[in-house]
Amino acid sequence: MTHHLDVGGYVEFTMLLAFLVAPIALLVSVGTQLTETFAGLDRTFEILDEPEEDDEVVRTEAIDSIMGDVAFKDVTFSYVPNTPVLHGISFESMPGTVTALVGSSGSGKSTIISLICGFHSAFDGQVLIDGVDLCTIRLSSFRQQLGVVLQETFLFDGTIQENVLFSRPNATEEQLMEACRIARVDEFAERFAERYQTVVGERGVKLSGGQRQRISIARAVLADPRILILDEATSSLDSESEALIQSGLDFLMQGRTTFVIAHRLSTIRRADQILVVEQGRIVERGTHESLYQRGARYYELYTRQHGLEANLFLAPGEGDRII
């Protein structure tokens, strides 16, 4: 007001400016927090709006035990309306047999497995379990007889024992040790100071990929399921570990209906039937020998992969032959 500003007045004026700007800065941060809050609320409401597992009125069939006869009858499915990803899929897998699904990425193999697990329902056609439409079966009773070993293994922040017992909490210690022996979990668990009481960390971060996958296989062995699904179950294992665990998987598959998804076609040569899936359709079916002799899509996939593995460690151009 006097057109004169001393040092004290300058300091006072600067402090007043700071007190004035601080609330404005807080308003900006509050706006960011509100945006994050609304996004979180949208996700929360989306989860709350999801129907419960057996909330559908048509799911009235409770099954105590199943034989494991799985049949698809002219099944069509789409994630987005008017954009089908499966077109008229039909096949049957009998108890005690191994069905392998092969094909390029995005062909529909994982969608078929999702329908078997009951994660989705077919738009047209039927998925039958022992002759009963899966859409009418209570999932809580069905999934107790379902074992799944995925490529991406999820482990809880607990001990090795707790993670294996997740599939069957009331199992005895003998059953637990037998499952760990079959899946070769004992090979690394016995070397830890706390053995099976070793904490694996969130999502199993303290273990290697192969060790996590062995625990997942042991979990499936302990569950003793009637229907077994192996989705790249040995993808994180080295050749020696895979050979050891393969004997355990062979034991696990005995007498069960098994579905195998494997990009390494050498692991499915002994399957009872191989379904070649392309663009949501089964283009070939049969055994390894019959499909290989046919010289069509399966032959192309197998020979291409075999050639790639044979030349995996060659430098570019080193394996080329001059004709």
Least Cα distance to 278 among 108, 125, 124 occurs for: 108
Share of the chain above pLDDT 70, in %: 84
CA distance 291 to 295: 7
Instruction: Place 97 in a pLDDT band, splitting at 50, 70 and 90.
Output: confident
pLDDT exceeds cutoff 50 at 271: yes
Which residues pair with residue 275 across a beta bridge? 101, 285
User: pTM value?
Assistant: 0.72
Over range 73-80, report the average pLDDT: 87
Over range 271-282, report the average pLDDT: 86
Over range 21-36, report the average pLDDT: 80
**Domain range annotation of the chain:** 1-50, 70-152+226-310
Q: Which CATH architecture has domain 70-152+226-310?
A: 3-Layer(aba) Sandwich (3.40)
pLDDT exceeds cutoff 50 at 274: yes
pLDDT digits (tens, 9 = 90+) for 120-163: 888 888 888 888 888 888 887 788 888 887 767 778 888 888 88
Q: Which residue has the higher pLDDT, 87 or 232?
A: 87
pLDDT digits (tens, 9 = 90+) for 102-123: 887 778 888 888 888 888 888 8
pLDDT for position 219:
85
pLDDT digits (tens, 9 = 90+) for 194-212: 888 888 877 777 777 777 8
